[in-house]
């Protein structure tokens, strides 16, 4: 008879310790970046006579008002058909920068010393990455 209470005590401890455990799953929800690759051809560049800057406008419907207000935009250019280089960048004596607004991304080229730019002589591939931000 003395073994019966001990058995119940051990059974109670096992039941208590195993039933108190709760398995929790932690999931990291990530919002993926969105990438657009766009090639700007020579004819796409227009000259701003006032400051000598060449610009190319890329239509980007992905940059809507919400994205414009909350998210980040990263742009890289492939000048040598081998490597992407993040903008802003000085390449071959010219400064490449970008700015954006809802629906559009504009690439500009001017002299690295602040002087007039030069129209690129060949197509340039640009990689545009929209980086969502959790706010």
Full-prediction pTM beyond 0.95? no
For 12-121, list the strands marked E by DSSP: 34-40, 46-48, 53-60, 72-78, 85-86, 89-91, 94-101, 103-111
Nearest to 64 by CA among 130, 134, 135: 130
CA gap 34, 132 in Å, rounded: 8
Helix (H) or strand (E) holding 16: helix 3-19
For residue range 97-127, list pLDDT tens digits in order: 999 999 999 999 999 988 888 899 999 999 9
Least-confidence region, from 21-35, 42-56, 118-132 = 21-35
> Which pLDDT band, with edges at 50, 70 and 90, does 15 fall under?
low
CA gap 35, 52 in Å, rounded: 30
For residue range 22-33, list pLDDT tens digits in order: 667 666 666 688
């Amino acid at each position: 008879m003395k073994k019966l209470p001990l058995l119940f005590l051990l059974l109670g401890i096992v039941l208590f310790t195993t039933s108190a455990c709760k398995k929790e799953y932690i999931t990291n929800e990530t919002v993926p970046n969105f990438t657009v690759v766009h090639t700007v051809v020579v004819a796409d560049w227009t000259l701003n006579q006032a400051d000598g800057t060449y610009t190319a406008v890329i239509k980007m419907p992905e940059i809507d008002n919400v994205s414009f207000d909350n998210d980040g935009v990263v742009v890289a250019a492939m000048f040598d058909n081998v490597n992407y280089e993040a903008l802003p960048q000085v390449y071959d004596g010219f400064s490449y920068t970008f700015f954006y607004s809802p629906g559009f991304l504009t690439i500009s080229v001017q002299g690295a010393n602040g002087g007039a730019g030069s129209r690129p002589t060949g197509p340039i591939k640009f990689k545009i990455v929209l980086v969502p931000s959790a706010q």
